[in-house]
């Protein structure tokens, strides 16, 4: 629905608008993560999650209702040039999608924060257990993402982009009911317990203040310790690149090269399948690969695959536009595999090692995650707008579409991803003890563990 509305924007600057919309959505996600704290003080965590899911259902239903009530139909008479049913769009103002798409970020932010923090509350600080838990969550996440991406392509082509999301509200309603019916004792609700210990604020304004304090404290932790400084290049930048790949590079390739925006679902599906394989790898080799560094090096090397978009086209491959989408999707599998493996192992690393730091003002884990996530949002928001303006500045044809989109893929695909890959690869040699193919464990952590063993022994002897 978002892409459908963008296609109808009566302006030559629609790509710039897309960049701003993406930025607004990311900022709303940030706000959503802030309001979680006061909500979970007043309601059980499962109620907050079910509310967020219900909000998703309502948001997805609004454009469908608008479309149907203003004359939109599943398909019009006849077929388009590619043999697909013609969509018969409604007459509603596409600018309405701006507040709708922004509000989705609120619900997304609530869910994403709880999803990324809850594994440690379940299994504790054990790195191996955290890797397995994070990878298992990611596996289910990507099974849904892969199947959903392929299914959305089928729905968009069959019913048109307007009604392609018709199953989404029902799916979110089912998820809402399931979450709401889960029974959890308040004493075992780790989010509520953390709030009652004084880590979180009582009101939204206190949460906002605490959020900015967390960003500041997280920056201090990262920049004051060598074993955490590399996380800027190891976590925030890869996350930005992955989101930019799926939401911008893949989307613009489908729209301007394949001339069928709905095929972005196939490209995203290939990327999600790669993430699934990456999570499976981490789950399978948890005890063999002890740190995120080898996975990050693999991710940095595989970023060069994005140069494919610079030259790929149905003409180059000698196949039709659908086959081209599947070829590109297959090429993205190893690239997303490297990112997912690095992301899962990094999440376990951060959850395990950052939580060892003592800080009376904020939760160290929450502070570091807040800093890294805000950095990702800034990168994504700024470069989304810049990329959109660049596409709008390219020479256009009578349909106000770029005559040649390849310069965009050259600069914002190949060059940007390659430079970032070099930075990511170099950052993996910053921690002490990282100059090996498969570092077993960072020396600082060995010292910490030995120190704790000595302290524990002294405590036992005292008794």
Per-residue pLDDT of the chain (463 residues), as tens digits, is 556 556 666 566 888 888 888 889 988 988 887 777 677 777 887 888 899 999 999 998 998 898 889 887 765 545 555 555 566 677 888 778 888 888 899 888 888 877 766 776 677 667 778 878 888 888 888 898 889 888 888 887 777 777 878 899 999 999 999 988 887 665 555 554 444 444 444 566 777 787 788 889 889 999 988 889 999 999 999 999 999 999 999 999 999 999 988 899 999 999 999 999 999 999 888 778 888 999 999 999 999 999 999 999 999 999 999 999 999 999 999 999 999 999 988 988 888 888 777 777 777 877 888 889 889 989 999 999 999 999 999 998 877 788 899 999 999 999 999 999 999 999 999 988 888 888 875 545 444 554 554 454 544 454 4
Q: Is residue 442 part of a domain?
A: no
Domain membership of residue 31 (yes or no) is: yes
| Residue 414 included in any domain | yes
3-state secondary structure 269-293: HHHHHHHHHHHHHHHHCCCCCCCCH
Q: Whole-angstrom Cα distance, residue 113 to residue 131?
A: 18
Q: In the chain, count H helices and then E strands.
A: 21, 0
Q: What's the pLDDT at 313?
A: 96
Cα–Cα distance measured from residue 210 to residue 190, given in angstroms and rounded to the nearest whole number: 19
105 found inside a domain: yes
Residue at 44 is within a domain: yes
Please tell me what DSSP assigns to residue 434.
-
Report how far apart, in Å, the C-alpha atoms of 425 and of each of 21, 232, 308, 420, 428 are: 31, 12, 21, 9, 6
For the whole model, what pTM was predicted? 0.83
Total of domains in the chain = 1
Rounded to whole angstroms, the Cα distance separating 434 from 134 reads 23
Report d(CA 292, CA 347) in Å as an integer.
Answer: 9
Question: How far apart are the C-alpha atoms of 354 and 370, rounded to whole Å?
Answer: 13
* Residue 462: inside a domain: no
Q: Let me know if residue 428 belongs to a domain.
A: yes
We report the CATH number of the domain holding residue 90 as: 1.20.1250.20
Query: Is 460 among the domain residues?
Result: no
DSSP 8-class letter at 258: S
Residue-range definition of the domain harbouring residue 159:
2-433
């Amino acid at each position: 629905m978002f892409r459908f509305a963008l296609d109808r924007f009566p302006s030559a600057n629609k790509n710039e608008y897309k960049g701003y919309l993406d930025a607004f959505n990311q900022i709303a996600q940030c706000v959503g993560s802030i309001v979680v704290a006061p909500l979970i003080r007043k309601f059980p965590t499962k109620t907050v999650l079910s509310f967020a899911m219900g909000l998703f259902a309502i948001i997805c239903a609004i454009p469908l209702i608008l479309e149907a009530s203003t004359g939109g139909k599943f398909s019009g008479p006849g077929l388009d040039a590619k043999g697909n049913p013609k969509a018969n769009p409604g007459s509603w103002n596409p600018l309405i999608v701006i507040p709708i798409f922004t509000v989705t970020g609120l619900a997304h932010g609530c869910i994403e924060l709880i999803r990324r923090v809850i594994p440690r509350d379940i299994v504790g600080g054990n790195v191996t257990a955290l890797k397995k838990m994070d990878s298992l969550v990611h596996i289910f996440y990507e099974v849904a993402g892969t199947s959903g991406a392929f299914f959305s392509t089928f729905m968009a082509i069959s019913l048109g982009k307007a009604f392609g999301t018709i199953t989404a509200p029902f799916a979110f309603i089912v998820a809402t009911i399931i979450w709401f019916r889960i029974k959890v004792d308040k004493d075992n609700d780790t989010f509520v317990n953390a709030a009652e210990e004084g880590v979180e604020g009582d009101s939204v304004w206190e949460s906002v203040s605490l959020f900015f304090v967390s960003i500041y404290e997280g920056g201090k932790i990262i920049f004051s310790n060598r074993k955490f400084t590399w996380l800027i290049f190891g976590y925030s930048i890869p996350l930005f690149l992955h989101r930019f790949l799926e939401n911008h590079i893949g989307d613009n390739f489908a729209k301007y090269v394949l001339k069928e925006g709905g095929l972005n679902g196939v490209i995203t599906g290939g990327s999600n399948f790669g993430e699934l394989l990456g999570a499976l790898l981490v789950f399978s080799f948890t005890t063999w690969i002890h740190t995120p560094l080898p996975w990050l090096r693999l991710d940095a090397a595989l970023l060069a695959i994005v140069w494919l978009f610079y030259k790929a086209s149905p003409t180059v491959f000698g196949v039709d536009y659908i086959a081209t989408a599947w070829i590109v999707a297959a090429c993205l599998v190893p690239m997303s595999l490297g990112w997912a493996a690095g992301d899962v192992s990094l999440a376990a690393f951060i959850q395990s090692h950052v939580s060892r730091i003592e800080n009376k003002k904020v939760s160290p884990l929450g502070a570091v995650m807040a800093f890294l996530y805000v950095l990702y949002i800034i990168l994504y928001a700024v470069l989304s707008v810049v990329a959109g303006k660049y596409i709008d500045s390219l020479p256009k044809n009578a349909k106000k579409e770029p005559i040649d989109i390849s310069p965009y893929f050259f600069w914002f695909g190949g060059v940007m991803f390659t430079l970032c890959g070099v930075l990511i690869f170099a950052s993996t040699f910053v921690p002490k003890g990282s100059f090996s193919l498969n570092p077993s464990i960072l020396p600082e952590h060995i010292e910490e563990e030995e120190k704790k063993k000595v302290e524990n022994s002294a405590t036992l002897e005292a008794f």
